[in-house]
Chain A
Amino acid sequence: MLAKSLNRIGVVLILLFFSISAAWAETNPIWSQASSLFKQASFDKTREAVDLLANSSDPQAPVALKALLEGQLYQHKQNDSLAIIVDSTTVDVSTGQTLSTVNKDSYRKIPVNNTLRKLLRSKIGGLSLSSPDPKVRLASATGLLETVTPEQLPQLQELLGKETDPQVKDALNLALQLAALNGSDQAEKLTALKALEGNLNPIIRNKLASLTSDADTEIAKAAQSTLRSIESKVILNGQLETLFFGLSLGSVLVLAAIGLAITFGVMGVINMAHGELIMLGAYTTYFIQRLMPNYLDYSLFLAIPAAFIVSGLMGILIERTVIRHLYGRPLETLLATFGISLILQQLVRTVVSPQNVPVSNPSWMSGSLEINSLLSLTYNRLYILAFSLLVFAILYFVLRNTSLGLQVRAVSQNRAMARAMGVRSARVDALTFGLGSGIAGVAGVALSQLTNVGPNLGQSYIIDSFMVVVFGGVGNLWGTLVAGLSLGVINKFLEPWAGAVLAKILVLVFIILFIQKRPRGLFPQKGRAAGD
């Protein structure tokens, strides 16, 4: 960890140096002083040289110190120049340039002992801790955690006083506590233990675990209680993460099922081709991205309305040509729409490709939101969770507060009466089905960001979607939302101890049993709308 971050700092510094070395060809006089000190080959003199370099502002100084710590610093036997030799590459320390033809035998390794190593570590840490770049400071402060010693306490306190960046401050504070824990003062140790309560850093946890068997019973006890508080927080974070994954899966289920909640729930039409309408939405995303390869970041904003239109029109086409003739015969509708799903699948296989197609994620969807060192939420899942709630809200609004929604509800509750009041039921049927199908297309856009887009995409969601709608209660949008999210969460909480496949099976069995107990789902429709 330390070596890695220092390495990175070293690389940064070397690059920095190269960029300015042309203008700054002359070498700093401290190098010749250091060389003469190193040449005397005594640990005391080396110590002086280290101090000299550490106090200099030369950009190569940390590189040299680091090399010295790792036993990679060599001195030329004749001209006294210092060089870093790693494997077969030799780099001149004062200039940072790679030397070409070098005979390793003409160099002498500069020896270090443990006292020197300790000194070097704190000096290097101190050097990069006072670097002007807060990122470098943060990296070195974090790196410090593994090696911090009680001797560094005063230095750390001084740095903390000067520090302005809050993140670096936190890391320095942690280092301070750790330094106190590594020290011998009991009172300091106890305050440090108190202060570390609830900290999630794994290094702290290791340190505490070793302290629980401390000879001093008071410290051991305090360490145990702190460790317990930390562990309960770790578990809580684990639960939160599972909850997030569950909600994420649930939001996908809600997205996939919500269009079905309209066609099945409100119209009573079993649409087995619903999954394929989702698939069409995902393929629309793919084609939009192919059309505008230079604007991938914005393609989704175009893909959402496009997918809504493509799937919605396909839905209206299906309704007008097939389903219209089968109202009141739900089992036949099921079979006919299943046939349509086969045709659509094969159509995609023949026209596009039987393989999965690549859909890329826009850059603003990658990355993750870090809550703490254990819990980070990926942006794509967060966005899709938010998106599914948004889609739900819009749909809810459309059904509650628009004239179309009013007509849809009227037709679904009493077709004959609605017609008598002047509602054109055939048109409402087509529009409702188009709406449900369009939502499926929008779900496809979201799914294309999470899973593979291929001809079988829809098939893998259709049964789950039906489960969500049936579980939530047909004809009830809220039921779909609650059912989808809770099924997702149940699934993810079962997974750790049952495995992914068994969790899926258990959820299915659970729903099958649940439906036996409550055949009309979680939120059954009441009154006349409940129908037969």
Chain B
Amino acid sequence: MFISQILKNDRGGQIMLAVLAAVLIVVPLLNLAVADTNPLHVPTYLVTLMGKYLTYALLAVAVDLVWGYLGILSLGHGAFFALGGYAMGMYLMRQIGDRGVYGNPDLPDFMVFLNWKELPWFWQGFDMFWFAMLMVLFVPGLLAFIFGWLAFRSRVTGVYLSIMTQAMTYALMWAFLRNEMGFGGNNGLTDFKDILGFSLQSDYTRIALFIASGLALGLAYLLCRFIINSKLGRITVAIRDAESRTHFVGYKVENYKVWIFTVSAMLAGVAGALYVPQVGIINPSEFSPLNSIEIVIWVAMGGRATLYGAVLGAILVNYAKTVFTGLMPESWLFMLGALFVLVTLYLPRGLAGVWVSLKTSFGRKRGVAA
């Protein structure tokens, strides 16, 4: 079968996808079919929280694709994520219709507040779901394409590229903070009511979004694995390990880089689009350089160039974040900072690397015994 072909030799991925499938089936059941009083009942807020983690995991997979397999440390994936989120947010804003505070059927509240008379051209079409979804892919993809096309063709590599991607998201953050941009300025887009006609508050919508996030993660995982297993994937790894050599062998290195970077940005955009309806807000803080660099540590924590490690890392780090910001908010930045230092110093291959080395050393011992 096609899927088993893709996942051949990917034990981690097999386990990860199996667990994901189980969670996607069991959690909604525990939420809907089990009574509130039962200790096994999963409350809706937890479902949404898990949905949020799944979108983060998807984002981490996107970063792992470029960092793990192409060697590009992007400190700007938060920007692609946020752009996807804004595209979804614009659709959700248009869905509010005349239920806003000002009751204007044509304009979102913040535009009425700014005394705008009509919808700006770049808001046209976002009342249609299909168009918004197209934009979720198109806008981050286009930005990544242009940025990558410029950067990779002139051989901007390594830390230079990282700093440039960081400057990109930084510039976008400042841009989106401006009211004149027409994206709600500092407050961003919020007060969403419903999606495709279903209320965002209802349990069913939330479960549907949770399942959608899980499916998106699974599909994105398969896509990335497919790319990596293909001939294209082998060239990307070659570029990562010996860029000049690949170039001299005759491959157009920059083209490969641009396309992988663009695909990765689109995946990040999808993650953002699924994230926004679940948290109910999108604002310029998503563009902040800190957010983008945090994604990198999820991947580093889970294990670079494994894909399933990215999923594991994203979920673990964010779970820890939820727990510790709740328990003692002061300590979280200490822990995150320490995580950055310790993972780079002592876990260069992440948790997945630990698992692999444990397995091999265990396997060798057994081999000796037999």
Let me know if B369 is at the binding interface, CB within 8 A.
no
Contacts of B150 in A (CB 8 A): 512-513, 516
Stretch in B115-123, B211-219, B328-336, B358-366 touching the partner: B328-336
Among A338, A346, A501, which residue has its beta carbon within 8 angstroms of that of B177? A501
Stretch in B44-52, B91-99, B162-170 touching the partner: B162-170
Let me know if B151 is at the binding interface, CB within 8 A.
yes
Q: Is A342 a contact of B340 with CB atoms below 8 Å?
A: yes
Contacts of B341 in A (CB 8 A): 322, 336, 339-340, 343
Q: Is B338 a contact of A343 with CB atoms below 8 Å?
A: yes
Let me know if B114 is at the binding interface, CB within 8 A.
no
Interface size on B, residues (CB 8 A): 41
Interface string of B82-110 (1 = CB under 8 A from A): 00000000000000000000000000000
Q: Is B348 a contact of A332 with CB atoms below 8 Å?
A: yes
Stretch in B152-160, B195-203, B259-267, B274-282 touching the partner: B152-160
Let me know if A509 is at the binding interface, CB within 8 A.
yes
Known: A463-B166, A463-B170, A512-B164. A331 touches B337 (CB 8 A): no
Q: How far is the CB of A326 from chain B (nearest CB, A)?
A: 7
In the assembly, what is the distance between CA of A279 and CA of B333, in Å?
17
Contacts of B167 in A (CB 8 A): 463, 466-467, 508, 511-512
Q: Is B162 a contact of A341 with CB atoms below 8 Å?
A: no
Among A325, A342, A343, A515, which residue has its beta carbon within 8 angstroms of that of B164? A515
Let me know if B79 is at the binding interface, CB within 8 A.
no
Best-buried of B167, B174, B297, B339 by chain A (most CB within 10 Å): B167
Among A322, A335, A345, A508, which residue has its beta carbon within 8 angstroms of that of B296? A335
Q: How far is the CB of A436 from chain B (nearest CB, A)?
A: 16
Q: Is B171 a contact of A509 with CB atoms below 8 Å?
A: yes
Q: Is A331 a contact of B297 with CB atoms below 8 Å?
A: no
Contacts of B144 in A (CB 8 A): none
Contacts of A330 in B (CB 8 A): 158-159
Question: Within residues 165 to 188 of chain B, which ones have a CB less than 8 A from any CB in chain A?
Answer: 166-168, 170-171, 174-175, 177-178
Known: A345-B333, A512-B168. A501 touches B155 (CB 8 A): no
Contacts of A517 in B (CB 8 A): 154
Look across to chain B and name the residue whose beta carbon is closest to the beta carbon of A345.
B333
Known: A326-B345, A331-B162. A339 touches B156 (CB 8 A): no
Q: Is A470 a contact of B163 with CB atoms below 8 Å?
A: yes
Let me know if A108 is at the binding interface, CB within 8 A.
no
Best-buried of B153, B166, B341 by chain A (most CB within 10 Å): B341
Q: How far is the CB of B257 from chain A (nearest CB, A)?
A: 14
Look across to chain B and name the residue whose beta carbon is closest to the beta carbon of A500.
B174
In the assembly, what is the distance between CA of A519 and CA of B156, in Å?
6
Known: A338-B293, A467-B167, A505-B175. A519 touches B155 (CB 8 A): yes
Among B151, B170, B337, which residue has its beta carbon within 8 angstroms of that of A346? B337
Look across to chain B and name the residue whose beta carbon is closest to the beta carbon of A508.
B171
Let me know if B207 is at the binding interface, CB within 8 A.
no
Let me know if A406 is at the binding interface, CB within 8 A.
no
In the assembly, what is the distance between CA of A269 and CA of B88, in Å?
39
Known: A334-B162, A515-B164. A505 touches B174 (CB 8 A): yes
Let me know if A530 is at the binding interface, CB within 8 A.
no
Let me know if A270 is at the binding interface, CB within 8 A.
yes
Q: How far is the CB of A484 from chain B (nearest CB, A)?
A: 16
In the assembly, what is the distance between CA of A443 and CA of B338, in Å?
26
Look across to chain A and name the residue whose beta carbon is closest to the beta carbon of B171.
A508
Let me know if B136 is at the binding interface, CB within 8 A.
no
Q: Is A501 a contact of B168 with CB atoms below 8 Å?
A: no
Let me know if B140 is at the binding interface, CB within 8 A.
no
Let me know if B78 is at the binding interface, CB within 8 A.
no
Contacts of B297 in A (CB 8 A): 335, 339
Contacts of A340 in B (CB 8 A): 337, 340-341
Let me know if B289 is at the binding interface, CB within 8 A.
yes
Look across to chain A and name the residue whose beta carbon is closest to the beta carbon of B340.
A339
Q: Is A336 a contact of B174 with CB atoms below 8 Å?
A: no
Let me know if A502 is at the binding interface, CB within 8 A.
yes
Contacts of A164 in B (CB 8 A): none
Known: A342-B337, A342-B340, A519-B156. A349 touches B345 (CB 8 A): no
Q: Is B159 a contact of A338 with CB atoms below 8 Å?
A: no
Q: Is B345 a contact of A505 with CB atoms below 8 Å?
A: no
Interface string of A243-275 (1 = CB under 8 A from B): 000000000000000000000000000100000
Q: How far is the CB of A320 from chain B (nearest CB, A)?
A: 13
Best-buried of B150, B153, B164, B177 by chain A (most CB within 10 Å): B164
Let me know if A123 is at the binding interface, CB within 8 A.
no
Let me know if A40 is at the binding interface, CB within 8 A.
no
Let me know if A504 is at the binding interface, CB within 8 A.
yes
Contacts of B63 in A (CB 8 A): none
Among A334, A342, A349, A513, which residue has its beta carbon within 8 angstroms of that of B159? A334
Q: Is B178 a contact of A519 with CB atoms below 8 Å?
A: no
Question: Within residues 374 to 425 of chain A, which ones have a CB less than 8 A from any CB in chain B?
Answer: none
Contacts of A341 in B (CB 8 A): 337
In the assembly, what is the distance between CA of A504 and CA of B175, in Å?
9
Let me know if B124 is at the binding interface, CB within 8 A.
no
Known: A339-B339, A343-B333, A508-B170. A516 touches B156 (CB 8 A): yes
Q: Is B337 a contact of A343 with CB atoms below 8 Å?
A: yes
Contacts of A325 in B (CB 8 A): 345
Q: Is A331 a contact of B348 with CB atoms below 8 Å?
A: no
Contacts of B159 in A (CB 8 A): 270, 330-331, 334
Contacts of A466 in B (CB 8 A): 163, 166-167
Let me know if B60 is at the binding interface, CB within 8 A.
no
Contacts of A339 in B (CB 8 A): 297, 336-341, 344
Contacts of A338 in B (CB 8 A): 293, 340
Q: How far is the CB of A249 from chain B (nearest CB, A)?
A: 16
In the assembly, what is the distance between CA of A160 and CA of B168, in Å?
63
Best-buried of A333, A342, A349, A511 by chain B (most CB within 10 Å): A342
Could you name 16 residue pairs across A and B whose Cβ atoms are closer than 8 Å? A270-B162, A330-B158, A331-B73, A335-B297, A335-B344, A339-B339, A342-B333, A342-B340, A343-B341, A345-B333, A463-B166, A467-B163, A508-B167, A512-B168, A513-B150, A519-B160
7 closest cross-chain pairs (CB), A and B: A339-B340, A342-B337, A343-B337, A346-B333, A508-B171, A339-B337, A339-B341
Given contacts A502-B178, A516-B154, 19 further A-B contacts (CB under 8 A): A338-B340, A339-B297, A339-B338, A340-B340, A342-B336, A343-B334, A343-B341, A346-B333, A347-B334, A349-B330, A470-B164, A501-B175, A501-B177, A512-B171, A515-B151, A515-B154, A515-B156, A519-B155, A519-B156
